[in-house]
């Protein structure tokens, strides 16, 4: 796959009493025409690691030895297997994304969720070794004991984070555990089954990426930037700041094309981490490749930002948005 290089520069001019204006400059090498739309109901599983759009650094290909991954690092398979007949969901629940609060109704989320029926098989997302398997009633893995219930943690010995730390994945709220500490697993191997153990509202898989320390609840990263997109899909990520450059927490971002309408929001606070390769405070994965109208409004409905942004198959499009507000004065 040819890797394109995308530069998106957004400038916001705010004049008291005047309308907001934006200017955008997009420089992009020619790329092959994206694949036709594949609706989210039946996307095919990817069969190769996509190459990403890299802004400041070159992507590094995975190798049999531990590798520092820069830029796009879509190196993990989905933890749920789905085909055209089994009715399982291998897409991330967008109502409660990483860093989200469900519009202020819940605690900041340190992972993502895959809603599926009880006993749906849960799969390892990459080769690794089991470092924890059991209940977390005696080992603190979350904000409280017995938070995840039945949980499995894998160490992925062939992966390193962008800053060179070991990478782990956590699988929580399991109904059954199918592995033991010390077991070696490969991508796609079953390690347990979906349930609602611990603190859970209905059966689902809670999935986390952790770096450095597998037992540290504050060591998470956004799974959207690690899980392979479906073929024909990409990821929108970015950093939203106020006029002083401070991150804006919990603001809603609307993304739409002729066929897709989605909402996401920036991280609810600083208890979750940006990826060092991007420095994001929001992501929206599983977007069909297309041009998207991206806009942000304040609580009164006033338009703060609007721009047309391309999303390409198998890649991350990163945008920086500076809003004409001052969060320190609010």
Q: What is the mean pLDDT of residues 146-154?
A: 98
pLDDT of 56 above 90: no
For residue 60, pLDDT over 80 is answered with no
Give me the residue spans of the domains in the chain: 102-225, 233-322
Question: Of residues 22 and 87, which shows the higher confidence score?
Answer: 87
For the chain, helix, strand, coil in percent to 5 are: 0, 40, 60
- 203/49: higher pLDDT: 203
pLDDT-derived band at 284, boundaries 50, 70, 90: very high
User: What confidence score (pLDDT) does residue 61 get?
Assistant: 35
Which has the higher per-residue pLDDT, 148 or 28? 148
How confident is the model at residue 71, as a pLDDT? 81
Report yes or no: 182 and 160 within 8 Å, Cβ to Cβ. no
Predicted pLDDT of residue 307: 97
CATH topology of domain 233-322: Immunoglobulin-like (2.60.40)
Please say if the pLDDT value at position 286 is more than 50: yes
Give the number of residues written for the chain: 330
102-225 and 233-322 have identical folds: no
Q: Half-sphere exposure (CA, 13 Å, Cβ side) for 33? A: 2
Q: DSSP secondary-structure letter at 56?
A: S
Which residue matches tokens 């106020």? 242
Q: What pLDDT score was predicted for residue 40?
A: 40
Q: Among 33-37, 153-157, 168-172, 217-221, which stretch is predicted with the lowest mean pLDDT?
A: 33-37
CATH homologous superfamily of 102-225 equals Glucose Permease (Domain IIA) (2.70.70.10)
- pLDDT for 70 equals 56
Q: What is the pLDDT of residue 87?
A: 83
CA-closest candidate to residue 125, choices 204, 209, 221: 209
- Given a contact cutoff of 8 angstroms between Cβ atoms, the answer to whether 232 and 38 are in contact is yes
| pLDDT for the residue 330 | 59
* Predicted local confidence at residue 58, as pLDDT: 34
pLDDT > 70: what percent of the chain? 78
Span 29-43, pLDDT tens digits: 333 333 332 334 334
So what's the pLDDT on residue 164? 93
Q: Please determine, for residue 15, whether its predicted confidence score (pLDDT) is greater than 60.
A: no
The answer to whether residues 4 and 29 touch, using CB atoms and an 8 Å cutoff, is yes
Average pLDDT on 116-142 reads 98
Q: Is the pLDDT of residue 251 over 90?
A: yes
Average pLDDT over every residue of 135-162: 97
Residue 293 has pLDDT above 60, yes or no: yes
Please give the average per-residue pLDDT across 145-173, as a whole number: 97
State yes or no: pLDDT of 111 exceeds 80: yes
pLDDT of 97 reads 96
Q: Which of 41, 173, 158, 190 has the alpha carbon at shortest distance from 112?
A: 173
- Token pair for residue 17? 């009493």
The structure tokens listed for 295 are: 């806009």
Tokens 């938070």, located at residue: 147
Please, how many CA atoms are within 13 Å of residue 73, restricted to the half-sphere of its CB?
Answer: 27
Does the pLDDT of residue 57 top 70, yes or no?
no
Question: Cα–Cα distances in Å, from 192 out to 93, 96, 152, 320?
Answer: 20, 23, 8, 39
Per-residue pLDDT tens over the stretch 181-238: 999 999 999 999 999 999 999 999 999 999 999 999 999 999 999 999 999 999 999 9
**pLDDT, mean over the chain:** 83
Question: Using an 8 Å Cβ cutoff, are 316 and 289 in contact?
Answer: no
| 217 Rama class: left (phi>0) / alpha (psi -120 to 50) / beta | alpha
pTM attached to this predicted model:
0.80
Tell me the C-alpha to C-alpha distance, in Å, between residue 324 and each of 24, 246, 247, 260, 281. 17, 12, 13, 27, 17
CA–CA distance, 57 with 70 (Å, rounded to integer): 7
């Amino acid at each position: 796959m040819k890797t394109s290089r995308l530069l998106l520069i957004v400038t916001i001019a705010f004049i008291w009493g005047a309308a907001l204006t934006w200017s955008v400059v997009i420089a992009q090498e020619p790329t092959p025409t994206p694949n036709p739309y594949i609706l989210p109901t039946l996307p095919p599983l990817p069969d190769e690691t996509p190459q990403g759009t890299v802004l400041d650094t070159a992507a590094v290909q995975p190798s049999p030895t531990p590798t520092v991954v820069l830029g796009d690092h879509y190196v993990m398979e989905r933890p749920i297997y789905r085909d055209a007949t089994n009715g399982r969901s291998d897409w991330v629940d967008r109502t409660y994304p990483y860093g989200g609060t469900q519009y202020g109704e819940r605690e900041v989320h340190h992972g993502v969720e895959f809603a599926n029926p009880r006993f749906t098989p849960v799969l390892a997302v990459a080769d690794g070794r089991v470092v924890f398997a059991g209940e977390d009633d005696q080992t603190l893995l979350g904000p409280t004991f017995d938070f995840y219930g039945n949980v499995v943690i894998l160490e992925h010995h062939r992966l390193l984070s962008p800053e060179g730390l070991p990478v782990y994945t956590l699988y929580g709220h399991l109904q059954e555990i199918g592995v033991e500490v010390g077991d070696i697993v490969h991508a796609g191997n079953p390690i347990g089954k979906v349930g609602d153990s611990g603190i859970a509202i209905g059966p689902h898989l809670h999935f986390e990426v952790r770096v450095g320390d597998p037992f540290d609840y504050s060591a998470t990263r956004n799974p959207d930037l690690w899980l392979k997109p479906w073929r024909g899909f990409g990821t929108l990520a970015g950093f939203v700041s106020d006029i002083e450059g401070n991150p804006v927490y919990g603001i809603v971002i609307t993304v739409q094309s002729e066929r897709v309408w989605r909402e996401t929001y920036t991280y609810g606070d600083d208890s979750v981490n940006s990826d060092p390769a991007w420095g994001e405070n929001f992501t929206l994965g599983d977007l069909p490749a297309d041009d998207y109208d991206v806009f942000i409004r304040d609580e009164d409905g006033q338009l703060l930002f609007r721009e047309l942004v391309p999303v390409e198959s198998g890649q991350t499009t990163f945008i920086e948005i500076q809003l004409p507000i001052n969060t320190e004065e609010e």
